[in-house]
Amino acid sequence: MPVMTKSPKGDDIVILSRKEYDRLLVAANEDVTDAAVAKKAIARNEETLSEAEVDELLAARTPLAFWRKKRGLTQADLAKAAEIAQGFLSEIENGLKTGDVAVLQRIAIALEISLLELVSDLPRGKRKPGIKLKIDKRRK
């Protein structure tokens, strides 16, 4: 727990444990890294999500459900644009079917996103050790 005190000259100072200090350094480094990534994305005119949108994406049954709604498309509109049956799109959106790469690519093109944006993160138990998946919720 940090300790607040005063220096001999009257300045406010905080005393931290080494563990707290190290955590603070890691967080600061992550902030700098995240800011650099966001700056590059903005420079490339890439779409970024607000914190609320990230929360919606994480809460959505599938990334497809989030992106279709974000684009303001009905399932029928998206199915037509991707040249697939609306029922099949519904099954993919609800996680009942996966669709092959060609179908997912057509959906991604229609949504103007990358194919990777349609692929959910692997559940924790299925990830290889050392691989960390992270979304920066501070990007606006």
- Cα separations (Å) of 66 from 73, 99, 135? 11, 17, 15
pTM over 0.75: no
Give the pLDDT confidence of 16-64 residue by residue, as tens digits.
Answer: 999 999 998 888 888 888 778 778 877 777 777 888 998 999 899 999 9
- The Cβ-side half-sphere exposure at 100, using a 13 Å CA radius, reads 2
